[in-house]
Structure formats: structure tokens, C-alpha cells
């Protein structure tokens, strides 16, 4: 359905110009709405959420490597993201925060939980 971008009047398909405004009619209104919705959904999928807070060092490197080897995108942030997280989660403000896309959060948790605990004695060698 063509419509006038100036006065927003809708016309039948046979019209090309707005008789009131003398401007070309456009037909992209519905497409724009669809694109906006797709963009919103895409933004939601790309939202990064806190997966875990680990001590910086070898353990962090191992976890990051494990997640990446399973196709998980990981962002590391040092020092937490502020008091909000600390208050709400009890995480300390030290170490490394791992962020993953929200869509991969469940998978990432399963990967970490399925991983056998490191035998710390091995690292004392
Ligand atoms: Zn018009």
C-alpha cells in the first residue's frame, strides 16, 4: 500500500504521487517495521551476559580455551563491572569476568560444568 511520507496518507496501489503534497508515494513502511523488529531481535541475541568470575591466571586461560574450542565467544573483563555486580552476585571485584552471548550462556555453563575439576596437585609439580 503506497503512502505519502509527508502527510502519511495512504493511497491505493494505482497512485504514485500524493495529490496533497505533490511528492512521490513510498511503499516501504511495512518493510521498515519488519527491519526494525529484526534489528531488535538481533540486538537481543548479541547481548553479552556474565558467565563466570574466575581468578586470573592459568584457570582463566584454561576455561577460556575450553569455551572457545567449543565455539563459544568469550570476552574477558578484568576487575568486574562495578558495585552492581558485586552486590547482586557476591562476586569479588578481583579476577576475570567472562562474558558470553546470552544465546550461548546455557551451553557455556554446561561446558564448564561437564569439565572435570582440575586436580590441583598436578599444578604443584
Ligand atoms: Zn501527502
Q: Taking the chain (125 residues) in consecutive chunks of 10 residues, what is each chunk's mean pLDDT?
A: 90 90 80 58 70 85 93 81 49 74 93 69 54
pLDDT the model gives residue 83: 47
Domain ranges of the chain: 1-44, 46-118
Residue 89: the pLDDT is 53
What is the CATH code for 46-118?
3.30.70
Q: How far is the CA of 18 from the centre of ligand 1 (A)?
A: 5
Q: How far is the CA of 22 from the centre of ligand 1 (A)?
A: 7
pLDDT of residue 55: 82
* Å from CA of 35 to ligand 1 middle: 24
Q: Report in angstroms the alpha-carbon separations of 46 from 68, 90, 105.
A: 17, 25, 11
CA of 28 to the centre of ligand 1 (A): 15
Ligand 1 center–CA 39 separation, angstroms: 29
- Rounded to two decimals, what is the model's pTM? 0.47
Share of the chain residues as helix, strand and coil, in percent rounded to the nearest 5: 45, 20, 40
Amino acid at each position: 500500500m503506497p503512502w505519502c511520507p509527508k502527510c502519511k496518507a495512504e493511497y491505493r496501489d494505482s497512485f504514485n504521487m500524493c495529490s496533497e503534497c505533490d511528492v512521490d508515494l513510498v511503499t516501504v513502511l511495512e518493510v521498515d517495521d519488519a527491519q526494525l523488529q529484526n534489528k531488535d531481535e538481533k540486538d537481543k541475541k548479541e547481548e553479552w551476559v556474565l558467565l563466570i568470575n574466575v581468578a586470573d591466571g592459568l584457570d582463566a586461560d584454561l576455561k577460556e580455551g575450553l569455551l572457545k574450542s567449543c565455539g563459544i565467544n568469550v570476552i574477558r573483563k578484568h576487575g568486574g563491572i562495578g558495585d552492581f555486580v558485586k552486590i547482586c552476585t557476591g562476586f569479588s571485584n578481583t579476577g576475570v569476568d567472562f562474558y558470553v552471548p546470552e544465546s550461548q550462556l546455557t551451553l557455556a555453563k554446561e561446558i564448564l560444568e561437564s569439565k572435570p575439576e582440575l586436580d590441583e596437585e598436578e599444578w604443584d609439580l
